[in-house]
Structure 1
């Protein structure tokens, strides 16, 4: 896929993330590797994922230098680059702030995987330790998780959100939706379990 088509796809997937309710305001960021270039496309800072256009995709070198485009890259560009450096199999990163997954992230624990689908596809969703948004420490925490568990497709980010990866933007988006739906299913299951004794005693 050429660069222009990738910019359009980045905008399209950004809109899907926002419309699906996986992030709020101007939170979240998406990136994709550029084929045949040692660079990535990443959303510029300050624009909502619901309003991203092709022009909002900046070309960023693997050293973090803006090569093309107007504006500054998302402040989270460091962990995007960290993942790409650590995982040559990853071509796209979707970072967002879905509500149920954030709930589990705030507990500082790995995401429960209650369904066979989640266990088969996700296998393991660990949590990266908390750090200020945009900080080098956060980038190191997220990168460390993807280095420690080289096969993972997503991680929770404590007190922050999630980071999903894939070999295409669409696959990374699908992983992000699966993480959030799995978190929702886990929450529902926990609520049901907590009410089972009371329900039985009332029958």
Structure 2
């Protein structure tokens, strides 16, 4: 039996990461299925706001991505009714039209080749925090994946259907994983659908925690070194995949039609 009680933390972290690669069971899914389940999972988590918000993922051909059809709520999205569009929002596959606000997604995809999925929603607590014109404060371990990884746009540029808003939002996002938009909502720019879904869940929880903490007193900061360690520990691809697998299982129990073609 191996004795690990005297092992340094770095060794234990690596051991845990290796174990996750071996033991965390992740179901293989088609991209359209992942996107549909992300819509359903985020709907259940309070990210719906009527027909507002968009969720997109880069498709197999460069310069194209999948998105939902305007007129359908997140709880109505299936793998089969997603649209394939180009960066000019011309529909290549599917029926109907995309949300015109998807234009700023095209700007982000152009600026960030590392981004493969974008989630833009107006969940209740994020929207409430955005009204205060204050950035997201990450001061709790569960929200650590967003530590120093959530930008802030303090000036509302208006309805994001023009190229101007695309330039403003993509520039403000920079190289971060997420951004809080004042008087608007949030944007998550993930390396994968799994990561984007996980971070979208967290940013709403973070906003909810922040509003509660602000009402009770002054929020204390996290130690930078430990917060960065927690960020890196919780934001591995395998952890994101495992988180998504849980959200997907839960969504499928509530929305058995999500994977229909």
TM-score for the superposition, normalised by structure 2: 0.66
What is residue 138 of structure 1 aligned with on the other side? 165
Distance in 1 of aligned mates of 2:214 and 2:82: 40
Paired position in structure 2 for 1:183:
207
Of structures 1 and 2, the one with the larger relative CO (CA 8 A, separation 6+) is: 2
Q: Deviations over 1:27-86 (max 9, x none)?
A: 211000013443111111111001112233111113432211111111211111111101
Cα distance in structure 1, aligned partners of 2:41 and 2:145: 24
Q: Secondary structure at the match of 1:156?
A: strand
Partner of 2:189 in structure 1? 165
- Counterpart of 1:113 in structure 2 is 138
Look up the match of 1:71: 96
| 1:192 and 2:216 are equivalent in the alignment | yes
Partner of 2:37: 12
Q: Shift in Å at residue 122 of structure 1?
A: 3.4
Q: Partners of 2:145 and 2:97 in 1: how far apart?
A: 38
What SS class does the counterpart of residue 81 from structure 1 fall into? helix
1:93–1:165 CA contact under 8 A, matched in 2: yes
Give the Cα separation in 1 of the matches to 2:118 and 2:74: 14
Task: Find the aligned partners of 2:145 and 2:193 in 1 and give their Cα distance.
Answer: 20
Tell me the number of residue pairs that the alignment of Structure 1 and Structure 2 aligns: 188
TM-score of the aligned structures, taking structure 1 as reference length: 0.84
Residue 54 of structure 1 aligns to a residue in which SS?
Answer: coil
CA deviation string 1:67-126 (max 9, x = no partner): 111111112111111111011100000111111111221222221112245345432422
Q: CA deviation at 1:7?
A: 1.6
Tell which structure's C-alpha radius of gyration is larger.
Answer: 2
Which is further off, 80-89 or 6-15?
Answer: 6-15
- Structure 1: which 5+ residue stretches go unaligned? 195-203
* Alpha-carbon separation, structure 1, partners of 2:212 and 2:134: 17
* SS at structure 2 position matched to 1:165: strand
Unaligned runs of 5+ in 2: 1-28, 219-261
Q: Which residue of the other structure, out of 118, 121, 130, is the alignment partner of 1:93? A: 118
> What CA RMSD, in Å, does the superposition of the two structures yield over aligned residues?
1.9
SS in 1 for 2:104: helix
Superimposed CA distance per residue, residues 127-185 of structure 1 (whole angstroms, 9 cap, x where no aligned partner): 23313324213323211212xx31x1111122111111211112101111111111111
